[in-house]
Structure 1
Amino acid sequence: MTEDLFDALTAGMGAAVDAETGELSTADLELLRALDALYQASDKIAIKKLSRNDRGWAWTPPVNHQAGIYIPAELRNGLFFPEDTELHAPSENGKNIQLPIRISWPQSAKHTKPAHYKRFTGKSSGAETHLTVLPKHLFAEAGPASLLVLGRTSQMPEMQLQAVLVDSASTVYGLVESRFDLRPDFQAGIFDSPADGALPEREVDELQSFIDEAIEAVQSGHLDLFLRKYAEMPAAETLSNQARQLWLDQNPRCTLNPMTLDKPGDAVRSIVSGIEFDLYRQHEVRTRGARLIKLLLGDGAVPTVGSMVTRLVRDFSGFYSEMLNASQQRKARVGTGFETHIRSLLDAGKVPYAEQRVVSSLRPDFVLPNVELYQANSPHALVLSAKTTLRERWKQVTMEKRGCPVFLATMDEKVSVAAVQMMREHNVYLVVPEALKPKKGVIVDFAQEENVKTFAEFFKDIVAKEKMPVWQSLM
Structure 2
Amino acid sequence: MSPNDVGTTGSHQAGFYLPKGAWGMYTPHAPLDGRNDKHVVTIHWEGTRETKSVVTWYGTGTRSEYRLTRFGRNFMFKDDYFVGSLLVLVPVDISNFRAHVLDIDEDILEAQVALGVEIVSGWGIYDRTQPAIEEQDECLRHRLHEFMAGIDDFPSGDEFSEETRMALIDCVPGFINLSADEKIIKGRDTEYELFKLVEQSICGPIVERGFRSIDEFVSVANSITNRRRSRAGRSFENHIRFTLRDAEIPFEHQPDVDGRPDFIIPSAAAYNDFDYPVDRLFVIGAKTTSRERWRQLLDEGRRIRSKYFMTLQPNMSNRQFDAIVDADVRLVVPESLHTGYPIGAIRSDELLSVHRFIDMVRESLAW
One fold, TM greater than 0.5?
yes
1:275 matched residue in structure 2: 190
1:443 lines up with 2:344 in the alignment: no
Deviation, structure 1 residue 283: 3.3
| 1:286-325 equivalent positions in 2, closer than 5 A | 287=202, 308=212, 312-313=213-214, 316=215, 319-325=217-223
Instruction: Work out which of the residue numbers 269, 279, 292 in structure 2 matches 1:379.
Output: 279
- What's the % identity of the aligned pairs? 21
Deviation, structure 1 residue 245: 1.0
Normalising by structure 1, we get a TM-score of: 0.59
The answer on whether the counterparts of 2:31 and 2:59 sit within 8 Å (CA) in structure 1 is no
Amino acid at match of 2:361: V
Amino acid at match of 2:281: A
Q: Secondary structure at the match of 1:379?
A: helix
CA distance in 1, matches of 2:362, 2:251: 13
2:171 matched residue in structure 1: 250
1:64 matched residue in structure 2: 11
Amino acid at match of 2:29: P
2:143 matched residue in structure 1: none
1:55 matched residue in structure 2: 6
CA distance in 1, matches of 2:181, 2:329: 18
| 1:4-15 equivalent positions in 2, closer than 5 A | none
Change in Cα spacing, 1:174 to 1:270, as seen in structure 2 (3 Å) is same
2:154 matched residue in structure 1: 233
1:452 lines up with 2:367 in the alignment: no
Instruction: Work out which of the residue numbers 281, 293, 298 in structure 2 matches 1:398.
Output: 298
2:232 matched residue in structure 1: 334
1:356 matched residue in structure 2: 254
CA distance in 1, matches of 2:210, 2:22: 44
1:421 lines up with 2:336 in the alignment: no
Deviation, structure 1 residue 53: 0.7
Q: How many residue pairs end up in the alignment?
A: 338
Change in Cα spacing, 1:337 to 1:446, as seen in structure 2 (3 Å) is farther
Instruction: Work out which of the residue numbers 126, 129, 138 in structure 2 matches 1:198.
Output: 129
Normalising by structure 2, we get a TM-score of: 0.73
The answer on whether the counterparts of 1:75 and 1:188 sit within 8 Å (CA) in structure 2 is no
Q: Secondary structure at the match of 1:448?
A: helix
Q: Secondary structure at the match of 1:149?
A: strand
Instruction: Work out which of the residue numbers 241, 261, 267 in structure 2 matches 1:370.
Output: 267
2:181 matched residue in structure 1: 265
Amino acid at match of 2:288: T
1:90 matched residue in structure 2: none
CA distance in 2, matches of 1:145, 1:247: 31
The answer on whether the counterparts of 2:3 and 2:315 sit within 8 Å (CA) in structure 1 is no
Q: Secondary structure at the match of 1:140?
A: coil
Change in Cα spacing, 1:337 to 1:72, as seen in structure 2 (3 Å) is closer
Amino acid at match of 1:146: L
Deviation, structure 1 residue 243: 0.6
CA distance in 2, matches of 1:119, 1:282: 36
Deviation, structure 1 residue 188: 5.4
Deviation, structure 1 residue 337: 2.4
